[in-house]
Amino acid sequence: MDDGSIFAAVEAAARDGRDVALATVIGTRGSVPRHAGSRMIVDPARGLLGTIGGGCGEGEVIAAAKEVLETGTPRLLRIELMDDVASWSPAVCGGVMDVFVEPVRRAAGRPS
């Protein structure tokens, strides 16, 4: 997913009067599925566009995005993709991603 598609989706949401959340990987350490600059849009009306890596980490970001949309307050998340003794999932990367989640509000003057 290129930035042009992400930004076009943000623009379309604003034009349509929808609030969306933009999640951006801003830093990584170790082995991770996506690197700094990767973006994902969480649009309650239309779903997801892009990815920050999938799995449980992406699930954490989606949950945080819903909270960001409710409160209007951005969040910085640290997603740890470390092996958990209780985890049976082989999909553990072993790294850490810092993800910034921010609200993108509808255009001024648009109905809610």
| Residues whose CB falls within 8 Å of the CB of residue 71, separated by 6 or more in sequence, listed in order | none
Q: What is the reported pTM?
A: 0.83
Per residue in 50-73, pLDDT (tens digit) is: 999 888 889 999 999 999 999 999
pLDDT at 38: 94
pLDDT at 53: 86
- Give the count of beta carbons closer than 10 Å to the beta carbon of residue 39: 23
pLDDT at 1: 62
pLDDT at 55: 83
Where do the domains of the chain lie?
Answer: 3-104
Category of 47 on φ-ψ map: left (φ > 0), alpha (ψ -120 to 50) or beta: left
Residue 86 has pLDDT above 90, yes or no: no
Per residue in 11-54, pLDDT (tens digit) is: 999 889 999 999 999 999 998 889 999 999 999 989 999 999 88
43 vs 83, more confident = 43
Residue 108 has pLDDT above 80, yes or no: no
What is the band of 94 on the pLDDT scale with cuts at 50, 70, 90? confident
